[in-house]
Chains A and B, each alone.
Chain A
Amino acid sequence: AQSVTQLGSHVSVSEGALVLLRCNYSSSVPPYLFWYVQYPNQGLQLLLKYTSAATLVKGINGFEAEFKKSETSFHLTKPSAHMSDAAEYFCAVSELTGNQFYFGTGTSLTVIP
């Protein structure tokens, strides 16, 4: 089974500062990788996904992530945090069949005005 590790269950940044949320996966085969965002009392929404095309993936709301095979990482970044970015973020890995998603335990992002 694959596993996903998100370093830092809570991250705080100042408004306008860089956002960096870390995700590492365990897989000998490059998987499909996803970042989801969850706003309070809502379901998960897809931010972006990596499916073996470009290693730098751009998503919604100014977020992007870079797939680094040598580091088995898929960190999420945003150059300038906005108050509306405060939410829970989940990294996920999918098996090739699509039968199973493996989710990290999530990172709660707080944006300080």
Chain B
Amino acid sequence: NAGVTQTPKFHILKTGQSMTLQCAQDMNHGYLSWYRQDPGMGLRRIHYSVAAGITDKGEVPDGYNVSRSNTEDFPLRLESAAPSQTSVYFCASGLYRGDGELFFGEGSRLTVL
């Protein structure tokens, strides 16, 4: 099993451009989430999904959109990128229960100029 796969690993885009970060998991997990990691801030949840067709906002959802059409994929879209969205983004999956850990992808480092 590959686990959680994120693409791309690195990307640079200009202010106002759009971008989609891809996330795919092969562990048949119901729960998928996107986090951003910024220095001194820890990890903050952007959006999450508990099943195909169901998505909800996390702690910092503004400027981001998600969709979940199947169990495996959970893309994160930036419609009009801003420099404040420069960050490292992680996709994480899990079993949607308290004692179940999250499994993380390797991250996507995004720079917005």
A30-53 CB contact bits vs B (8 Å, 1 = yes)?
011010100001111110010110
Interface string of A86-112 (1 = CB under 8 A from B): 000010001111111101111000000
Task: State the CA gap A105–B8 with chains docked (Å).
Answer: 25
Please determine whether A98 and B105 come into contact, CB atoms closer than 8 angstroms: no
The answer to whether A105 touches B98, judged by C-beta atoms less than 8 angstroms apart, is no
Chain A, residue nearest B44 (CB): A103
Asked if A14 is an interface residue, CB under 8 A from chain B, the answer is no
Inter-chain contact B99/A105, CB cutoff 8 Å: no
Residues of B near A101 (CB, < 8 A) are: 45, 102
| Pairs across A and B, CB under 8 Å, 5 listed | A34-B101, A43-B106, A43-B107, A44-B90, A45-B104
Q: A44-B90, A90-B42 are in contact. Are A98 and B104 (CB under 8 A)?
A: no
Contact of A32 among B42, B90, B99, B106 (CB under 8 A): B99
Nearest B-chain residue to A48, judged by Cβ: B101
Q: Least Cβ distance of A31 to chain B in Å?
A: 8
If over half of A's interface residues share one DSSP class (helix, strand or loop), that class is named, otherwise mixed; here it is: loop
Q: Is B51 an interface residue (CB 8 A)?
A: no
Closest to B41 in A: A105
For residue B53, CB closer than 8 A to chain A, the reply is: no
User: With A and B bound together, what is the CA distance between A101 and B103 in angstroms?
Assistant: 12
Q: Are A97 and B43 in contact (CB under 8 A)?
A: no
Question: Closest approach, in angstroms, between the C-beta of A103 and any C-beta of chain B?
Answer: 4
Q: Which residues of B contact A104 (CB under 8 A)?
A: 42
User: B64 interface residue, CB < 8 Å from A?
Assistant: no
The CA-CA distance from A76 to B105 in the complex, in Å, is 23
Tell whether, in the assembled complex, residue B43 and residue A103 are in contact, meaning their CB atoms are under 8 Å apart. Answer: yes
A98-B100 contact, Cβ under 8 Å, with A43-B90, A43-B106: yes
